[in-house]
């Protein structure tokens, strides 16, 4: 007959949060002790007197009760090493990591690399927001502030910061201290956007160096970003064979990659930013014909080439656009290549296209991004629609004879 298995040992009960009685270790040595309710063994620290040991233990228990407690080990962690640890754990593209590193450098320059993470409090955060508002654009300040929130939020989850300072309810990323004039900007820098009229687009087309005319068509009438324009190939434009009435379409497949963000130096082109960027874009037939005429001597390869026949880079395209708009002068001198993409959105909204259609055309991830980006254009379209309804109502009223009173 087999022996019965022994009864499992009783688990040690975790003690409550409390200050333990100080223990004498010898002459002029006392050990203060307290338990935090999360482990059985107490936290300890040596002091020369019993009163100092008792006071320390009492303060630690009080900190536990009001949510400001940080262990001795956690209190030694400084901001510089913690930012490096946080960055290593981010799974993102190399270009995004470079952006994070720049933002972390801004944070570390302000707070200092050797500052203990536990000592950064809410008042320091507000002072940092004021610092950002005086030196950077609103969008840049928001981005840096959000990264600070993520860094310190992760520090809080790892017990490096007091719970009362960096709890999720404190909304670390909220711009509570930004001092900007609402009339000069909004949250997406919409007031600083500039896009040309249709006549100005063709003026740029006629003025720009001939090899770059096709880039104007790709930006203004297909809505490509500058890196996508530099990576566009002739074979990416073809007829949609699934339709009874074939329409030329552009299939975005790749983009030009900045040298510092390439996995290997020889990999000039890479995948697009997001899956939404790979959406097929319809091309107006007249524009497809013009692109075909400008590339009639080639059947494949890059669409935009330099004067020497080499593939154009975003810098080449930007320089050509800048040279053209500077030669034209006036307000158009403010235009950059991305303004051609904004032009495409403006004519789509002005012609009454719904936000879902504009979202597909601009290849945004969702309509919320489109609304946020082009709020000013949508509001103008709503005003035109309201005025049109009012005019139609008054036209009908004037055309209707007044009722004759009985």
Q: Which domain holds residue 113?
A: 79-170
Through-space distance between the first and last CA atoms of the chain, rounded to whole angstroms: 114
Q: Are 220 and 201 in contact (CB under 8 A)?
A: yes
CA nearest to 342, candidates 221, 249, 188:
221
Q: In whole angstroms, what is the distance from residue 222 CA to residue 231 CA?
A: 14
CA nearest to 142, candidates 156, 128, 157:
128
Pair 52, 129 in one domain: no
Q: How many helices (H) and strands (E) does the chain have?
A: 15, 8
Q: What is the average pLDDT across 360-368?
A: 86
Asked whether residue 150 is assigned to any structural domain, the reply reads yes
Asked whether residue 405 is assigned to any structural domain, the reply reads no
Pair 46, 87 in one domain: no
Pair 160, 265 in one domain: no
Q: What is the average pLDDT across 41-65?
A: 85
Asked whether residue 348 is assigned to any structural domain, the reply reads yes
Q: In whole angstroms, what is the distance from residue 251 CA to residue 232 CA?
A: 9
pLDDT band with cut points at 50, 70 and 90 for residue 46: confident
Q: In whole angstroms, what is the distance from residue 82 CA to residue 79 CA?
A: 5
Pair 57, 88 in one domain: no
Pair 137, 262 in one domain: no
Q: In whole angstroms, what is the distance from residue 79 CA to residue 110 CA?
A: 11
Tokens of residue 112, six digits: 């200092």
- Looking at 170, 187, 209, the residue that finishes a domain is 170
Segment 93-148, tens digit of pLDDT:
777 888 899 999 999 999 999 999 888 888 888 888 888 888 888 878 888 988 99
Asked whether residue 3 is assigned to any structural domain, the reply reads no
Provide the strand spans (E) within 52-129.
none
Segment 217-269, tens digit of pLDDT:
999 999 999 999 999 999 998 877 565 667 889 998 899 988 877 777 788 88
Asked whether residue 132 is assigned to any structural domain, the reply reads yes
Angle subtended by helix axes 138-157 and 122-133, to nearest 10:
160
Q: In whole angstroms, what is the distance from residue 332 CA to residue 195 CA?
A: 8
Name the domain count of the chain.
3
User: According to the model, what pLDDT value does residue 20 have?
Assistant: 81
Q: What are the phi and psi torsion angles at 270 (to 5°)? A: -145, -175
Measured over the CA atoms of residue 294, residue 300, residue 303 and residue 304, the dihedral's sign is negative
Pair 54, 93 in one domain: no
Pair 145, 279 in one domain: no
User: According to the model, what pLDDT value does residue 231 have?
Assistant: 93
More confident residue, 232 or 176: 232
Pair 164, 87 in one domain: yes
């Amino acid at each position: 007959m087999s022996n019965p298995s022994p009864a499992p040992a009783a688990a040690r009960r975790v003690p409550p949060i409390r200050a333990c009685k100080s223990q004498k270790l010898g002459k002029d040595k006392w050990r203060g002790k307290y338990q935090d309710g999360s482990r059985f063994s107490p936290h300890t620290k040596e002091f020369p007197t019993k009163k100092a040991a008792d006071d320390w233990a009492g303060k630690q228990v009080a900190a536990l009760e009001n949510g400001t407690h940080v262990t001795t080990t956690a209190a030694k962690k400084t901001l510089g090493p913690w930012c490096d640890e946080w960055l290593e754990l981010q799974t993102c593209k190399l270009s995004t990591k470079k952006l994070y590193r720049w933002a972390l450098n801004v944070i570390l320059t302000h707070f200092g690399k050797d500052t203990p993470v536990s000592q950064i409090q809410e008042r320091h955060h507000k002072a940092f927001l004021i610092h950002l508002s005086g030196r950077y654009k609103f969008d840049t300040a928001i981005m840096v502030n959000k990264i600070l929130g993520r860094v310190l939020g992760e520090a809080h989850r790892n017990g490096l910061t007091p719970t009362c300072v960096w709890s999720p309810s404190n909304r670390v990323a909220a711009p509570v201290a930004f001092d900007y004039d609402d009339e000069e900007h909004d949250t997406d820098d919409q007031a600083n956007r500039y896009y040309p009229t249709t006549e100005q687009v063709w003026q740029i087309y006629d003025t720009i160096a001939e090899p770059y005319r096709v880039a104007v068509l790709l930006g203004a009438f297909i809505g490509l970003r500058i890196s996508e324009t530099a990576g566009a190939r002739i074979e990416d434009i073809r007829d949609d064979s699934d339709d009874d009435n074939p329409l030329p379409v552009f299939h975005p497949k790749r983009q030009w990659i900045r040298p510092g963000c390439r996995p290997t130096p020889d990999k000039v082109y890479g995948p697009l930013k997001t899956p939404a960027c790979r959406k097929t874009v319809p091309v107006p037939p007249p524009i497809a014909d013009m692109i075909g005429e400008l590339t009639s001597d080639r059947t494949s390869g890059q669409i935009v080439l330099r004067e020497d026949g080499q593939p154009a880079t975003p810098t080449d395209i930007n320089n050509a656009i800048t040279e053209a708009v500077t030669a034209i002068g006036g307000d158009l001198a403010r235009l950059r290549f991305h303004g051609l993409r904004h032009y495409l959105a403006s004519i789509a909204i002005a012609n009454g296209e719904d936000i879902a259609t504009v979202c597909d055309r601009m290849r945004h991830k969702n309509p919320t991004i489109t609304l946020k980006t082009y709020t000013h254009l949508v509001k103008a379209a709503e005003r035109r629609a309201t005025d049109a309804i009012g005019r139609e109502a008054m036209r009908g009223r004037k055309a209707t004879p007044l009722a004759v009173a009985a």
